[in-house]
Structure 1
Amino acid sequence: MKIVLAIDSFKGCASSQELSSWIGGAIGDVYPTAEIVACYIADGGEGMLDAIMQNVKGNIVTCNVHDPLMNPLSAQYGILEDGTTAVIEMAQASGLPLVPKEKRNPLLTTTFGVGEMVKDAILKGCRKFVVGIGGSATNDAGLGMMQALGYRFLDSNGEVLGHGGEILEKIHTIDESRVLPELKACEFVVACDVDNVMFGAHGSAQIYAGQKGADEVMIKRLDAGMEHFTKVLKNRLGKDVAMNAGSGAAGGMGGGMQAFLDAKLRSGIEIILDQIGFDTHLKDATLVITGEGRIDKQSLMGKVLSGVSKRAQNAGVPLIALGGGIADELEEHEGVDALFSIMRYPMSLEEAMEKNRAEKLVRQSTKEIFRLIKLIKNSAS
């Protein structure tokens, strides 16, 4: 029996690695000879770097960059064993947790540190980039990243602009004369799991800026600034990306990377499954186990569970999903053969998220599932 584990973290409670260890151990208690293949998974946001680098060969690199408020910061990225592919997690340099709640202001926060990581990797010989853009503290359309790579943005007086979302409304000219020359030879694939556009009712500011510290006045200003900037992109660079699905991801980072770097936007889970060779692990597999903290309709729309289920279906391997909870509205399984909640009795969310209790619940639920599998197999034979 070969069991492939591809379970997302239970956010705020347990990592993909911890869950895989608990589930694998419980399976071993029932089937001691079972082959367990653990694939550590994330959806392209925080945790993407760990998910890829713990599944494939490569090295973690530490470099000095700047955080969203331009304070010095030590960040990490990965270089795969080919020596030319870098894995960049935006949250390492521009993530929301890096900014204290009282200082969160997307008019000021910048993606400059992300560009510094990319530049460091370029100088180390990398030319292919996998960039996860989830969990950002920014709404600057990736302009900070571009500044770190040599782009300069000037106002109508020819003055060089500073950092943050506040410069969007002021940009008049884009100066490419100092851009890192190696950038032309680089390829960028962006992990993006939202379809938001750059401005408007479904745009980056109106949907997400409030979560990053913006009040209503700031949101309107950022939205107007983003609309202005997209017109500059179209007029100055001939790049019309504003209404591309995903262009508004990470405060417009998706669109900025499309415009300046010709980046390709892809589902985060699809990128990770490709990078870790997930389809190869499915060969001769008996069963796949996936899941996340809360399984609902969104889980089946471009997230980890959705991506894993499509691959399992294509390979003809049965799939079980295990979750901390399952939403009432979820009636259709959509490619998942069976859904199980780890909850055994009523308890508060706080109680359920206590790591020791969560481990016990995960182990108990997994054992019961495999006891049932064993019972059915024995009855059939």
Structure 2
Amino acid sequence: MKIVVACDSYKGCMYSKEVAQHIENGILKQNPHHEVWKYTIADGGEGTVSAFCDTCGGQLIEVSTVDAYMKKIKAQYTLIDQGQTAVMEAANIIGLNMYPREKRAPLFACSYGLGVVLLDAVKRGVKKVIIGLGGTATNDGGMGMLMALGVRFFDENHKPLPAQALSLEKIHYIDFNRMHKMNVELIAACDVANHLLGEQGATHVFGKQKGLYPNQIKKIERGMENYRFQLQRYLKVDINTFEGGGAAGGIGAILIGMLHAKMVPGIKLLLGYSNLEEKVAHCDLVITGEGQTDKQTKFGKVPVGILTVANRYHKPTICISGALGLGYQDLYELGFIGLFSISDRAMTFQQALDNAPAKLEAATFAIINTIDKIKHF
């Protein structure tokens, strides 16, 4: 068989390239005569830079910046299209998984570091910047990113405010005079359609997973409302009107509403640079997967993006994921012929992470063995 393997990363466990390699190992252990075509895939979150670099033969650029808590780090983005396009991801600059759960402090996290990397790319003379917005630790509405671009925020006493979620409700004055001019095409790679505010907005939907408590969510939502009001007062733009504005703790709203970025699903962007569709057209089986497959997967996640391509060519597609969550059965209606979890017994979360590579190879071996045996009946 000719098999296309195109999976998202298993968040906090394995990158997309590693997932594909372990799946290939499982396939070839069962039958070394199968031909495997592997692809590094991402949807705008963790691994986006690596995926574009591998797919396009990009050049990695290292830049000094700061993480979500203003600690100095080195981050990477990639140049593609002969250096005319930069691809960066928020997840490797201000990412949620850069700190263990017990050390996350979303009230103080900010997006300043992403703005630093964006400026570095612009100063290199690129014509386009693709920014992957998934997996951020921040909920500052892009305030930090704006400060890195030269915007200054002040409280009612004209004292400068630090870039953090706690500052949002204190903003009374904004100075745009030193804001850097962004003469580039901006693309926000994201699968989120949420607006900035409300019950389906950035804070209410994503705040808990970033570490906000219920009483803090209400407080930061009030801050976001003030932030939106102050920006509208100065710029005559309502940043709550845009689909995707709730991405990355509100960074999406700033990119779309202020910097005129276009929001595009990350998987759609990447596939536009890849020959994956051509390979799918000539394969016998497609394998995709992600860390956890559940009812959210159908809303633009990698497995459904890959399935959409496979369905065009009537290719059987299976999904092998770290876990299967609530509502995963609904995905059978989209066309998957099989949805599998690599977990084979009860274990702690840490044990699941530690054993994932071996479990993935074993699950793949079993699945391919079943397919091969059925074909011989």
Q: With structure 1 as the length reference, what TM-score do the two structures score? A: 0.88
Instruction: Give the one of 323, 326, 332 matched to 2:324.
Output: 326
**Aligned positions of 1:170-189 closer than 5 A:** 170-181=170-181, 183=182, 185-189=183-187
Q: Which residue does 1:296 correspond to in 2?
A: 294
Which residue identity does 1:241 align to in structure 2? I
Q: Determine the C-alpha separation between the residues in 2 that align with 1:225 and 1:320.
A: 44
1:140 is displaced (CA, Å) by 1.4
For the 8 Å contact 2:41–2:270, the answer to whether it is kept is yes
Q: Determine the C-alpha separation between the residues in 1 that align with 2:135 and 2:339.
A: 28
For the 8 Å contact 1:66–1:112, the answer to whether it is kept is yes
Q: Which residue does 2:9 correspond to in 1?
A: 9
For the 8 Å contact 2:41–2:48, the answer to whether it is kept is yes
Q: Which residue does 2:346 correspond to in 1?
A: 347
- Secondary structure at the residue paired with 1:60? strand
**Aligned positions of 1:16-27 closer than 5 A:** 16-27=16-27
**Deviations 1:21-61 (Å, cap 9, x if unpaired)?**
22213323444343311111233222222222222211111
Q: Which residue does 2:87 correspond to in 1?
A: 87
Q: Which residue does 2:165 correspond to in 1?
A: 165
1:229 is displaced (CA, Å) by 1.8
**Aligned positions of 1:169-318 closer than 5 A:** 169-181=169-181, 183=182, 185-318=183-316
Q: Which residue does 2:113 correspond to in 1?
A: 113
Which residue identity does 2:308 align to in structure 1? K
Aligned length: 376
Q: Determine the C-alpha separation between the residues in 1 that align with 2:96 and 2:165.
A: 15
Q: Please say which of residues 241-250 and 210-219 is displaced more in the overlay.
A: 210-219
Structure 1 gap ranges (5+): none
For the 8 Å contact 1:130–1:188, the answer to whether it is kept is yes
Q: Which residue does 1:337 correspond to in 2?
A: 336
**Deviations 1:244-286 (Å, cap 9, x if unpaired)?**
3221122111111112211122223222333334323323122
- Secondary structure at the residue paired with 1:55? helix
Q: With structure 2 as the length reference, what TM-score do the two structures score? A: 0.89
Q: Determine the C-alpha separation between the residues in 2 that align with 1:175 and 1:277.
A: 46
**Deviations 1:146-194 (Å, cap 9, x if unpaired)?**
221222334455554332123322334443332223x1x2111112223
For the 8 Å contact 1:5–1:288, the answer to whether it is kept is yes
For the 8 Å contact 2:242–2:256, the answer to whether it is kept is no
Q: Determine the C-alpha separation between the residues in 2 that align with 1:101 and 1:377.
A: 46
Q: Which residue does 1:153 correspond to in 2?
A: 153
Which residue identity does 2:118 align to in structure 1? V
Q: Determine the C-alpha separation between the residues in 2 that align with 1:233 and 1:218.
A: 22
Distance 1:102 1:295, change over 3 A: closer
1:86 is displaced (CA, Å) by 1.0
For the 8 Å contact 1:199–1:224, the answer to whether it is kept is no
What's the RMSD between the two structures over aligned residues?
Answer: 2.7
Distance 1:22 1:100, change over 3 A: closer
1:77 is displaced (CA, Å) by 1.3
Distance 1:239 1:278, change over 3 A: farther
Q: Determine the C-alpha separation between the residues in 2 that align with 1:344 and 1:203.
A: 33
Q: Determine the C-alpha separation between the residues in 1 that align with 2:71 and 2:26.
A: 45
**Deviations 1:111-155 (Å, cap 9, x if unpaired)?**
111000011111112221111122222221112112212223344
- Secondary structure at the residue paired with 1:199? coil
Distance 1:223 1:317, change over 3 A: same
Structure 2 gap ranges (5+): none
Q: Determine the C-alpha separation between the residues in 1 that align with 2:348 and 2:302.
A: 22
1:227 is displaced (CA, Å) by 0.9
For the 8 Å contact 1:300–1:334, the answer to whether it is kept is no
- Secondary structure at the residue paired with 1:21? helix
